[in-house]
């Protein structure tokens, strides 16, 4: 358990009640802005999927899913979702959604293997979104345009919050800065990935790190990604790998880089084949989702997740995600937070 306790921290909104009002206001505004920017329709999403279909997301390929038997289905096992990256793609195929339009959901997940700290909880809530694109849009330029639209949604929400809550002064820069994870390694070869992120985000305040999942020149990836949703292996014109990345903002409360979104252009059939081979997971080709993708039955898409509690935590200047969402925390963490003026809900 790691806990950052900012010196002289206080709740800028004054009370838990005012915080709850601000959370509701923020969420309503942001999802309206996001759906308008990306042409997204809200859809209802599952909290559980059947085990063995390949629909649940493996995230970094090591996390365990919460699972249980279903009595009326001969004890066939179901899993609580980690996220909905692959489910959304199936849903778009089912809806027959055309290029330029997409969907978003209120996704709720359980991730029991998370290391609990200021920004990580076993309960995850996010706006999970997915948009149909044409094959010609599977490139870095389109990825950057989409990132800029999402960033604009965050900025508009920050400015509107300031009107309602003047103590929450806007701090995001006008533009988001783009850098590839290999460039970041070249700049800071002696630092860990998280330390590199802190350096670049401290300087630019809002950064999109491209290329998460493929091995860099030191033989290791910047961070883990499963092989079957983001395309992290397609090279760009400069020879850098990956059509995905993370949106990072400088958090002045925690004084560190702060991830609010992971996203990317999704694998097509060649990228899926390549990435499964790189990870030694060719056996997944026989799973339901993967069979449909390899058969050309699913649309080309771009998508990602934007943390609801994370974004609220950032824009409302909170020190702990437990000030936004109700979850389970170690008793020692609860007592230390209380001593530091951090009120967990």
Catalytic residues: 57, 111, 126, 246, 259, 262
Q: How many other C-beta atoms can be found within 10 angstroms of the C-beta atom of residue 10?
A: 11
Parallel, antiparallel, or unpaired: how do β-strands 40-42 and 256-265 relate?
Answer: unpaired
Distance separating alpha carbons of residues 222 and 203, to the nearest angstrom:
19
**Is the distance from CB of 118 to CB of 320 less than 8 angstroms?**
yes
Distance separating alpha carbons of residues 34 and 304, to the nearest angstrom:
12
**Is the distance from CB of 303 to CB of 88 less than 8 angstroms?**
yes
- The H-assigned helical ranges of the chain are 16-38, 85-95, 140-164, 181-187, 193-204, 269-279, 288-294, 308-315, 331-339
Distance separating alpha carbons of residues 269 and 295, to the nearest angstrom:
8
Contacts of 140 (CB under 8 A, 6+ apart): 210, 236, 237, 243
Residue 307 DSSP class: E
């Amino acid at each position: 358990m790691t806990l950052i306790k900012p010196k002289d921290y206080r709740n800028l909104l004054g009370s838990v009640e005012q915080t709850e009002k601000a959370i509701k206001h923020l969420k309503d505004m942001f999802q309206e802005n996001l759906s308008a920017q990306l042409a997204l329709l809200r859809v209802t999403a599952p909290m559980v999927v059947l085990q063995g279909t390949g629909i649940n997301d493996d995230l970094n390929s090591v996390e365990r899913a919460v699972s249980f038997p279903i009595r009326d289905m001969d004890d066939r096992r179901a899993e609580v979702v980690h996220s909905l990256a692959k489910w959304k793609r199936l849903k778009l195929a089912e809806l027959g959604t055309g290029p330029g339009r997409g969907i978003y959901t209120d996704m709720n997940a359980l991730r029991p293997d998370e290391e609990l700290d200021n920004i990580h909880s076993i309960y995850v809530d996010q706006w999970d979104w997915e948009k149909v694109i044409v094959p010609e849009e599977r490139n870095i330029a389109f990825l950057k345009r989409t990132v800029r639209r999402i960033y604009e949604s965050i900025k508009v929400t920050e400015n509107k919050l300031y009107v309602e809550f003047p103590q929450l002064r806007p701090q995001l820069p006008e533009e988001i800065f783009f850098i590839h994870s290999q460039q970041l390694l070249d700049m800071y070869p002696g630092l860990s990935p998280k330390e590199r992120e802190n350096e670049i985000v401290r300087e630019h305040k809002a950064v999109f790190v491209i290329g998460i999942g493929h091995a860099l020149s030191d033989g290791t990836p910047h961070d883990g990604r499963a092989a079957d949703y983001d395309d992290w292996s397609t090279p760009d014109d400069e020879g850098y790998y990956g059509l995905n990345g993370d949106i990072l903002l400088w958090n002045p409360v925690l004084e560190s880089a702060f991830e609010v979104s992971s996203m990317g252009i999704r694998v097509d059939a060649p990228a899926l084949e390549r990435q499964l081979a790189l990870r030694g997971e060719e056996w997944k080709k026989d799973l339901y989702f993967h069979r449909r993708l390899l058969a050309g039955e699913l649309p080309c898409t771009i998508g990602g997740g934007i943390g609801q509690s994370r974004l609220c935590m950032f824009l409302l200047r909170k020190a702990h995600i437990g000030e936004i969402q109700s979850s389970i925390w170690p008793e020692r963490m609860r007592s230390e937070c209380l001593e530091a003026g951090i009120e967990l809900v």
